[in-house]
Amino acid sequence: MIFTLAWRNLWRNRRRTFITTGSIVLAVVLAVFMRSMQEGVYQKMIENVVGFYTGYAQVHQAGYWEEKTIDNSFESMTALDEARAANPRIVGVVPRLESFLLVYHGNASQVAQVVGISPEEENGLTQLGGMVKEGEYLRLDDQSVMIGSGLAKKLNAGIGDTLVLFGQGYQGSTASELLPVSGILQFGSQQLNDRMLYLPLPVAQGLFAAPDRLTAYALDLQAPGDEVAVTAALKSSLPEDYEVMDWREMMPELVQSIESDRLGGYLTMGILYLIIGFGIFGTALMMVAERQYEFGVLTAIGMKRRLLSQVMTAEMVLMALLGVVIGVAIALPVVVYFHYNPFEITGKSAEGYAAFGIEPIIPTAISGTIIAWQTLVVLLMTLAVSIYPVIKILRIDPVKAMRV
Amino acid sequence: MLFNIAWRNVWRHPVRSAVVMVAIALGIWSGLFMMAFSWGITESRTRDVIDTQTSHLQLHPQQFEAGEEMQHFLPEAEALLSSLASRPEVKAATGRTLASGMLESTSGNFAVQIIGVDPEREAVMTQLRDRMIGGEYLAEDRRPVALIGEALAEEIGVIEEEPDSLGNQPLNLRKNLVIRFQGPDGEITSAKFKVGGVYKAQNVQLEESQVFVRQTDLQDMIGMPGGMQEIALLLNDIRQTDSTAASLAALHSDLAIKTWSDLAPELEFMSSSMDASMRVFMGIILLALAFGIVNTMLMAVMERTRELGMLMSVGMNKIRVFSMILLETVILTVVGAPIGLVAGWACTEYFGKQGINLGAFEKGMDEFGLASIVYTDLPNGYYGEIAAMVIITALLASIYPSLKALQLRPSEAVRAI
Amino acid sequence: MNRTISLLFTLLLALQPAFGQSAKDIIRKSEEIRRGVQSSQAEMTMTIVRPDWTRTMSLKSWSKGDDYALMLVTAPARDAGMATLKRSNEVWNWVPRIERTIKLPRSMMSQSWMGSDFTNNDLVQEVSIIDDYEHRILKDSTIQGRNCWKIELIPHDEAAVVWGKVISFVSKTDYLVLRSEYFDEDGYLINVLQSSGIKTLGGRTFATKLEMIPMENPGHKTVLEYQNIVFDQPFTDEFFSVQNMKRVR
């Protein structure tokens, strides 16, 4: 009965309904968009830091992360290939054998982080091939190395120059090899530029006297967020000799820096809520002012204030629901669009981003949780705002109201 | 005449007018506050970096390279230092002696940079004395003393793992350190240092890699009394940085002169990325504001259909109706904007003194060298800029409702309730 | 009479170790005996023991005085032919697999030597056990059935030593250091270097087995065992050259 009345009221003055609903729609769209963008920036940050190196999850010999030595390596296994076949969330299993060696060229020597990779799989996860500045990307059967541009500069080595690699291999053996440089890599991060050296996995296993051994499997996952389910699944299926870690465990500093930045983000959201909340409130205020006369007449002819306020509340609820539905319907394609066509940062700022190895874009995150939460917030806000018209009606003096 | 009508219209509907004015004030306030917040973060970060790490300017020998400190020394460093210190724009100057080598302890070996400093001058330059968390600041001792960072101190066991009953973590200052590096003659030099104290730096990397010793001790070790590779300058005003760098460069072609932004490029990156996100934020705020104003003014036009119709039928032409509504918005804006400006300024001032505590995640902030309390701050120029943006948005937003008013036909309008 | 006095004098001298000799003298004598070796040529095995693996290498070694040493790996086959040369405070490696000589950068001197518990610094000992420490006899002690002096060595303030103190056990009969314990400033035992398998060969008494035990890593140690050793062969300084390092068999 109340809702029928409310529904009819809404359609009686469509223009007013559209304006009020419009303010709710806008609130949903802006809140969802803003949150999606904030989270999008974090996702990109994680992607840049995690995706370019560690991957979202890794499997190692238990204890490797604590003490990263080649002696804590493990024999390559098929269990993960089986896991990939069974779990569609695991897109790729990327093997690595990693340690530190001295690298010599001429009179120069540097300590390098030496990573044996399976080039094709590695490229699938980290797009390493895209970092090649000079020369060519490795192939699995190559007998050569790729080095970071900073390392190349420090060693004064270019394409075709032969490097001497020397140091410690597996279980006290000596690692030594002469290998030519076939590629020079340009990373965003100077740290990576200065110390990375990649070589094909079979060559690395020979060099370190660690045949068929690996220090890590990095996992390429279907979507960010999958790491939680995947690590849980792998933890229960793999024997205890292995550790399965997601990026949150591997990089607690990144998690913390995002958490602290989020606080600033909440402040921003708070301000946005204030503004859109006020927008809705303003519309409600106007609506009440406009309908003073109508309310006056209705109370004068004997309609109970209580019933009237219930009708009013029902109108607001209906408009809120309508606004939220339309809002989500608009916000969703907008968020999706800006996820795939992110804002690009141009000019001097873009150079700054590039220098720190971060793509100069601001994408949005597509997340059901964000949409649900923001929708709920706007809904609650609208309901809170509708307290005003209700109070106004309960206190109405029909004589005064009709005089407008 | 038109102004008078508009003025009276505004105050005839106090509620509606208040809504628009508050919306405008809110827009300006939020823009200012967010700007002041992000500006405060960047500013305080910049200040911290300059005050504790880079100073305003640093001078090195032209071919100086970190890691190869022994190759090039500053020519006549002492004389250079005193001549720089006597320049009018220089507030403080200090020289440093540097070496790269290994720090050996019973808990392992670490690659570090050894920085020989003049204790008194360094205390002014990088607040090193104030950043001590334990021990004594480079005290004269029969044995050479070294200050190590908190992170390194944890690794080599200078900071005890178990806190005492009061929750303090006592320092174990008995630890011996052997510092070993290649001297200017190519020979390995080594000497034992006592851990004199522990300092805190902006990030873990610095705490792990920088070891401070008395300059004279390090000069004795390398057999070069007065030998330095670095001079840091603090200027009276940060704005003199570039001009001073240029005039010094003209004077000393044999020196490499670096400004704080050369030395800490991440500051530039930080402020530009802050800038980018602020621009997006302002865009969203302005959009929200515009919609609020369009809605309210549209309502205002609809509500006044009869009144406007009346005015038109008594001969007010369309341009005047349009101008009148626009003028009403102008009046609302002119009243709302100062409220927003004052509120924004008051908030900035208040939180500029009290600070906004983001301390819950201090560790993460530390990692990125951010202080956990943000003090808002905003240069005056922004007040005008943000107010202008909001006012222009308000005016643009009122065009649509004004146009809507023009479409009213007097005869119909008068008939409407 | 003269003879009697002279005999008494000799007796007194012989008895001196029992009372008059200071801790510093004992260490000095022990060092003199060690340094008395003009040169040595030895074959040995080095075993690296870890909780879940052990690795044994066969080595040939040559040394002359304190300044020169050369070590050649003879087994396992993968590393055979690799040589390490120490010339005063430089360390060079010859890697036949890649036919390169490699000079160890200074920064790597404190790294492990060939994956063992010895560091390159242990090869290039710069610190004088006599001049850089304060010595004190603590008490008599018995190690491996031998009577020893237990001597405490406290490094001088300016000595480039990380240890808080070293306790050495020196056998009274032949002045061999049978065991050295390295403590940090807080008295925690960090490393133990232990000698055993005392043999007399070619007129010299020496330990044929050396064990380095890092106490903070349970299950870790490195054992050096001499198969045979020849003393005081004439070697020229050129024998310990980078050129010869490549040729030596």
Say whether pLDDT at C167 is over 70.
yes
Strand partners, B131: none
Average pLDDT over residues B289-317: 78
pLDDT band at B108 (very low <50, low <70, confident <90, very high): confident
**B38-83 confidence digits (pLDDT tens):** 888 888 888 888 998 899 999 999 888 777 788 889 988 899 999 9
Distance from CA of B143 to the nearest CA of C (A): 7
Confidence of residue B94 (pLDDT cuts 50, 70, 90): very high
pTM of the shown model: 0.75
Chains interfacing with C (3 or more CB pairs < 8 Å)? A, B
Tokens of B116: 């020989």
**Contact criterion met (CB < 8 Å) for B367 and A355:** no
Does residue B166 have a pLDDT over 70?
Answer: no
Q: Give the residues across from B210 on adjacent strands.
A: B113
Quote the pLDDT of residue A183.
95
From chain A, pick out residues whose CB is under 8 angstroms from the CB of C116: 172
* Residue B178 with chain C: CB contacts under 8 Å: 160-162
Decide if pLDDT at A147 tops 50.
Answer: yes
Q: Which residue of C has its CA nearest to B176?
A: C162
The pLDDT tens digits for A264-309 are 788 888 888 888 888 888 878 777 877 888 888 888 888 888 888 8
Say yes or no for a CB contact (<8 Å) between C78 and A209.
yes
- Residue B358 is predicted with a pLDDT of 67
pLDDT at A202 (0 to 100): 95
Q: Do A349 and B276 lie within an 8 Å CB cutoff? A: yes
- Look at strands A216-221 and A90-105 and give their pairing: antiparallel
Find the residue in C nearest to B183 (Cα).
Answer: C106
Distance from C-alpha of A389 to C-alpha of C247, rounded to nearest angstrom: 100
* Distance from C-alpha of A347 to C-alpha of A237, rounded to nearest angstrom: 50
Confidence of residue A217 (pLDDT cuts 50, 70, 90): very high
Model confidence at B29: pLDDT above 70: yes
HSE at residue B230, side-chain half, CA atoms within 13 A, is 25
Phi, psi of B304 (to 5 degrees): -100, 20
Neighbours of A188 (CB within 10 A): 18
Which 234-273 residues of chain A touch chain B by CB within 8 A?
A: 253, 255-260, 263-264, 267-268, 271-272
Q: In this complex, do A166 and C95 lie within 8 Å of one another by their Cβ atoms?
A: yes
Which amino acid is present at C147? N
Please say whether the beta carbons of C99 and C82 come within 8 A: no
Does C47 have pLDDT greater than 90? Answer: yes
Residue-wise pLDDT tens digits, B255-296: 999 999 888 877 877 777 777 778 888 888 888 888 877 877
Instruction: Indicate the length of chain C as a whole number.
Output: 249
CA distance B302 to chain A (A): 9
Greater model confidence, C2 or B226: B226
Residue A166 and residue C97: Cβ atoms within 8 Å? no
Q: How many angstroms separate the CA atoms of A289 and A261, rounded?
A: 42
Which of A15, A194, A275 to mutate against chain B (most B CBs within 10 Å)? A275
- CB pair distance less than 8 Å for C184 and B172: no
Q: How far does B148 lie from chain A, in Å, by closest CA?
A: 22
What average pLDDT score do residues C130-136 get? 86
Q: What is the pLDDT of residues B312-366, one digit of tens each?
A: 888 778 888 888 888 888 888 888 888 998 999 999 999 888 887 765 544 444 4
Which chain C positions have a beta carbon within 8 Å of B192's beta carbon?
155, 157-162
Of C107, C188, C190, the CB nearest to B102: C107
Please report, as a single letter, which amino acid is at residue B356. Answer: I
- How many CA atoms within 13 Å lie on the side-chain side of C17? 16
Token pair belonging to C179: 């065991």
- Rounded CA-CA distance B124/B92 in Å is 8
- ipTM, interface predicted TM-score of the complex: 0.77
* pLDDT at residue C1, rounded to an integer: 40
